[in-house]
């Protein structure tokens, strides 16, 4: 399920497809969200919902997102750690 993002002019972060692939590889369900101040992705993994803010490079939260507890993820590994996925060797 996906919702179109309009807050950033309809653009999604370039790192998002790789992050979604990593999440799907461990069996997580994802929903791409939109709207000012909302997280980019909502993830359900083992019955737990986790909102994630996807950024590339040195991207930071917008003014509407300041003070929210959502993790910022920049790659698949960070996303997997944020949802509590156990990874072999780590």
Domain residues for the domain of 67 are 16-83
What is the tens place of the pLDDT at every residue in 14-64?
A: 889 999 999 999 999 999 998 888 899 999 999 999 999 998 888 777 777
Q: Is 8 within 8 Å of 64 (Cβ atoms)?
A: no
- β-bridge pairing 41-45 and 29-32: antiparallel
Residue 89 falls inside a structural domain = no
Residue 61 falls inside a structural domain = yes
The helix/strand/coil state of 32 is strand
Residue 88 falls inside a structural domain = no
- What pTM does this model have? 0.81
The pair of structure tokens assigned to 59 is 């991207």
- The model's confidence at residue 68, banded by pLDDT at 50, 70 and 90, is confident
Structural domains in the chain (count): 1
Residue 2 falls inside a structural domain = no
Residue 5 falls inside a structural domain = no
């Amino acid at each position: 399920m996906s919702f179109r993002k309009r807050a950033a002019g309809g653009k999604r972060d370039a790192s998002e497809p790789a992050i979604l692939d990593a999440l799907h590889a461990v069996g997580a369900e994802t929903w791409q969200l939109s709207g000012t101040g909302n997280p980019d992705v909502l993830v359900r993994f083992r019955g737990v919902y986790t909102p994630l803010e996807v950024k590339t490079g040195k991207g930071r939260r917008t003014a509407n997102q300041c003070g929210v507890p959502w993790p910022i993820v920049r790659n698949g590994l960070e996303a997997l750690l944020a949802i509590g996925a156990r990874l072999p060797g780590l």
